Structure 1
């Protein structure tokens, strides 16, 4: 996995080598016999076994060890002479022949390439039998490996060679399609492997020890300062450490195989990268410095998050090589973009940018040395240590920058404290001077206050006298107000008495609702209903048994009236209107709606203009005469004075409107307009709606009226509901609309189902 971190720097080195036409050829085997590695003693250096390897491709993935041993043993080709391209879709068998010619027992380890699965078969020719079978590879669980080793890089197989023993070692390599076949093989002694393990544990202990020390220091500073930059630095540091732990097998107790280690490395490395980029945004103040630079850093964070998601998908498909290559490209792009941004910000004078710049170049130096060592140009030091050293020095440099910031902040606080002390001293001196001056002023003011107190006492006596006068007037106002309240309550009782009782509506109408909300105690709106006898000997009007509005034996006159004004003036007009309607319909027997309005208009004008005094009073009215026809339908005669009839025809279930005359009741005009009758015949279950303008004129908190269009739209939407549910819906709608406002006018809305 560290190799994955180094790949993006290796790219430009390899490109340079290609441009210079530098070739690194393999040595060719010049013998026709099978290669044989002869060990004369047990003390040997690490051996590169590439010249001794033979390879056989198995495109079918079906060859067993028995097939290889008995049928295909002579078909192996020396690796350095293998001309066919290596296909990661194939299974490959590798053969290695060893001969211990010494008189000592040799124990060593084969360092095999990093492949998905490698099965090692060791055949002892002297015993003519298997000596051992071992498993290794990144897809092999640790429990199935030699000694449960979990190191990503140390894919090991143990060999035990008896004196004068001849051995043939076969190992079978199978990778997922995206993973390159790695034939690299080395032989090391047991002592060399133990020394390698000790060096590795020591160097990794030092590396992780420094990182955890930096982490705890950063966390401590974050807890004390609550500045998020230290939390980001701590998160970046600990993520680098956690990312390296599985690479060297230190998390094998929680992971089952190297793929699990890879996932841990993937999440930790991307978290480290995201924390580093966010760390840059905070310490460089890119939001204030340049929105374009800040957008670029945010885009880098989003790219890493997307890469993390895509890598997870690829790992689910066992394409970890593709994921590694993609991450290498993203890391390379982010590194170039990050250094470019740091240079730009440094040129703009950002103080922390120099620490980021030096730290980034230290990281690049470690990355470059890692790549050079990976190419074999540095042999005595493990390549990954260069990269770890670069990362460590980078974080030490960042920590130094943060420490310098702490020092500068501390210095600023000290300067601020000294400034505050100086200001306090000056303020104290000025305060003493002002206290002395103020004392003199207070003495002078005290004598003035004594004089003013005498004047105040005189004024207080006058105020007390005025309070007694006001109290007397308040009592008189209270008595007057009580009389007015009693009068208004009495007027309300009278008005309620003249309004039709519910029992009368229940007797004459089968299904209806009335929304009646006076603005004040008494109202200028009222409703009126009365039957019209059609048979001279019929004195009562029993409620019909069938669900119709009325029987064929009588008509019903229904009116909704809106008198000018509200409160007491409106209530007086409503009494006049009610009295005149009773006289016109019940006494004068006028049942034509237009004639009723005409007679009512004349009577109101006579009353309001009596003795030559003109009044602005008047009425808007909707009046209907409802008559049940023998065929079950209902005949409606309608006339309106500046008021309209809204109805729903049960045949087509559409809301319609009949406009009334543009003339109001009781208003003088030079050219009188007549009132017009409208007749229509409606089937059963049709609906009539009569109203005043109080509902539509009601405003909300934005001073917008409810409006006729909104009311008609609402009625069209709810006309199919029972009338009681319509009433509840309309009341709730009106209550919500007029929330936090006062009622503007008296409200009257009547609905009737025929």
Structure 2
């Protein structure tokens, strides 16, 4: 009987040792007093177990074999397994306000067990996919578990970690006061970071509203996406915006990553001018936009949950490569762009390697991507400003070169004409005096003729270059479509360059339209158009003058100083008409300098004449101090108006070789009114070609028709 009892006793002890052996193999982490109140890192003493099925219960896991960690943190990277962490603690300090802290807030599922007695466990079930209140402790945006462990006591802790995001678990022990101070510093840091993003967003949004440049719109959308992603990944969005809607945590960053691919693709296409510099990259980013839309769909439906994240990982290096290639091919605006994306990719690569478990968890690997993104946002803003600076310099340089080329061409032409005239005069004298030298003289004249023709070709080439410059100054067709209602434009210079010009711009609710006829045509007229456009830009865009008659008054004051014709008899000027369409007030305002407005309302054509004195033109004594007159009209449902120079109505042609005349021109416009603007332009061109059949164009021709129904 005694032997039987002895055997039972031995068997009980063996079983007890078998159960306790996993715990005995684990080193106990001793909590000691910290004078500096720094964090303790018990992960060195932790053990972990990988449950690949994810189905083991807490009781079953306690019987499993755990692996020692021996590292400052627990980082299992991207994994579909469930990981259990076990830790034994002994409190050798006098404090009992210790907290277990994991500052990473996106643990999808996190369970915490603390042994309070031999058979009793305190259990907290929380995580990224539970309401924020499930944590029970709100001392940090991460996970903070109070450790109720009196001095000298020993306890066992279990953590259960699983989810879709990287299983990175930077386990710390920290006292409450130190945690409060740390959280305050983190709030200050993230307040500065989010403040930078918010300021840059509002600043560039204001610039977009002012300039209407699509680059700024894509840039602002990108900043907004970064705000959403980083406020979500740091836990602030969850804690303060949607604490009871954890499902948003799962989709906010994923969907936003797809939007980032779309916005950065559009930004790169327009900012780097990829269609001009790298056509195949332009097509590649169009494909990326389509893939991003598809990735958002499959991510939202959980068919492929990491689709947007994987696409963004591939897309980001392509953005940097596109910038480098565009820079090498001559796009100087790309330098800040390349630097910005280089810094961001370094930060993104650092945190990616950390999440994969290839880099340690520390302040550098955690915050590099945030600092990099802030620097990237600032550098991209500098890149946009630098692009506008370069465009302004190039435009000023082109204008200056055009003036120099034209001046040089005029000087060469005058010199050659004088020189050849003198030579021809001398040759004629010699011909009258010496008939014997006739053949030699004729040969000399032929040589001179060839040289003059060659010079004329060079001059024409210079004038053709001036034509391209003049076309660059005039508004482009797509810009006219953005500014104006449905319209047509008939523009035929008599020579290569024109003395007629048109100008259009939109400021707020007002669209400005100006048609001018400068003194002369050809090269002199073209110079006048450049001076006129320069003066109009200063008056409307820089000084902000909006009333048509005030624009003409200022133009009449500025042009003499530009021509340096004050107190002289020089009256080089221009006939000009100014129209302002106010979309808010639904009105049309007009003022003209020897240029009328032809308006059709309710089927009737009315001519509103401008003042009878041109810009910088001759004035009678009675009109020396007279200002230009303002005319205003309400817009109706079928309002149409025309602005034109006098080239069309003064053109000779027809059966009798007479002028077209204003009355015939007005009747022609009346018959055009019921048709669309495209048909109107075609009918007007056909009428002009038919009238000019066999006759040379005498003057520059410009006709602009607009259907300005209720805007």
TM class, shorter-length: 0.3 to 0.5
**Structure with greater Cα Rg:** 1
Q: TM-score, normalized by length of structure 2?
A: 0.48
